[in-house]
């Protein structure tokens, strides 16, 4: 990267096309636009038939023993690709320990889940339902289509009108404050593992002592309270925030991250600027037609009554 973008440079760039191009070049060193087509997935050739099967499985609640929960229950495509709960409700109406990450753009993450215990979407899909490998690969193929191109992508691709002067200044602040140390790349995060509380640990209400993050995967002391950097695309649509799901106000979440990870404080104006930049990462969810699922037959497994509503 040739140089760090400064707010002064941004204001100058607005009047100087050459500097504006430099600014985009610098941003492209840090970020990457979403692909224009469904990305290739290692070991899983994606075909229209596989995508359609994956969509059916994604919406089919019969993959759960109760016949109640589908993938879409926790990754609702109408509410930002998550369930808008602090932590998800699952099998046996149990409350899970962590916030459900969005499924949108998840194919671009380095690993899945907050602790990275699933290497890819196929492993992630198999985990909650313990489906067969082929079923999980079909779900992965469908989820790979859930990309949300945003104004920021259009700007990275050369559309000068996609971001206005104020949004460019907001981008500069996001970079200058050091947010890109963890939140960069095509998903503006979603890769790398970092201690939550690198400079100052937040309180136990936000960072529960019992959840030691990646330590549960590696059993390495250095990985205690280490989590995968959250991808920030569509973050304005996926409250609450953090693995604990305890923060519902994005401005508060930004302030917590800057204080705990960077050791800095933001003014209300600066916080608003960073939130405004995050808004430029929000894109429309691709249109998905809810599939008509196969009818039940005499051989279809019946729901387990002991985990139906009102019995637990």
Catalytic-residue membership of 134? yes
Is 56:291 a contact under the CB 8 Å cutoff? yes
Question: Residue written as tokens 């037959």?
Answer: 297
For residue 98, give the nearest of 230, 250, 245, 207 by alpha carbon. 245
Query: DSSP state, 203?
Result: P
Is 183:232 a contact under the CB 8 Å cutoff? yes
User: How far is CA 177 from each of CA 173, 181, 224, 257, rounded to the nearest angstrom?
Assistant: 6, 9, 26, 11
Count Cα atoms within 13 angstroms, Cβ side, for 112. Answer: 20
Radius of gyration of the chain (CA): 21
**Gap between the Cα atoms of 46 and 271, Å rounded:** 41
113: phi > 0 → left, psi -120 to 50 → alpha, else beta; which?
A: left
Q: Which two tokens stand for residue 197?
A: 């509380």
278: number of Cβ within 10 Å: 23
* Strand runs labelled E in the chain: 193-195, 226-228
Is 46:141 a contact under the CB 8 Å cutoff? yes
299: number of Cβ within 10 Å: 5
Question: Active-site residue among 110, 134, 259, 264?
Answer: 134
- Just list the catalytic residues: 134
């Amino acid at each position: 990267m040739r140089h760090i973008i400064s707010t002064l440079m941004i204001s100058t760039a607005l009047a100087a096309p050459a500097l504006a191009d430099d600014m985009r070049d610098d941003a492209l060193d840090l970020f990457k636009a979403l692909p224009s087509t469904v990305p290739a997935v290692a070991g899983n050739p994606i075909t229209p038939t596989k995508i359609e099967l994956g969509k059916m499985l994604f919406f089919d609640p019969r993959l759960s023993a109760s016949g109640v929960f589908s993938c879409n229950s926790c990754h609702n495509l109408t509410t930002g690709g998550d369930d808008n709960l602090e932590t998800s409700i699952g099998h046996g109406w149990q409350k899970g320990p962590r916030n459900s990450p969005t499924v949108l753009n998840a194919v671009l993450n380095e690993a899945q889940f907050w602790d990275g215990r699933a290497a890819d979407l196929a492993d992630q899909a198999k985990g909650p339902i313990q489906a067969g490998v082929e079923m999980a690969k079909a779900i992965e193929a469908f989820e790979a289509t859930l990309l949300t191109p945003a104004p920021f992508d259009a700007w990275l691709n050369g559309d000068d009108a996609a971001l206005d002067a104020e949004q460019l200044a907001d981008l500069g602040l996001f970079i200058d404050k050091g947010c890109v140390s963890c939140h960069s790349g095509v998903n503006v995060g979603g890769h790398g593992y970092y201690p939550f509380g690198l400079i100052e640990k937040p309180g136990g209400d936000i960072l529960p002592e019992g959840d030691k993050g990646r330590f549960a995967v590696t059993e390495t002391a250095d990985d205690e309270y280490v989590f995968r950097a959250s991808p920030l695309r569509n973050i304005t649509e996926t409250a609450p925030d953090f693995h604990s799901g305890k923060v519902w106000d994005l401005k508060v979440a930004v302030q917590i991250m800057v204080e705990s990870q960077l050791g800095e404080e933001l003014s209300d104006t600066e916080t608003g600027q960073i939130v405004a930049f995050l808004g430029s990462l929000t894109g429309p969810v691709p249109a998905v037609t809810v599939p008509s699922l196969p009818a039940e037959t005499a051989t279809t497994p019946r729901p387990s009554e002991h985990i139906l509503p009102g019995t637990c």
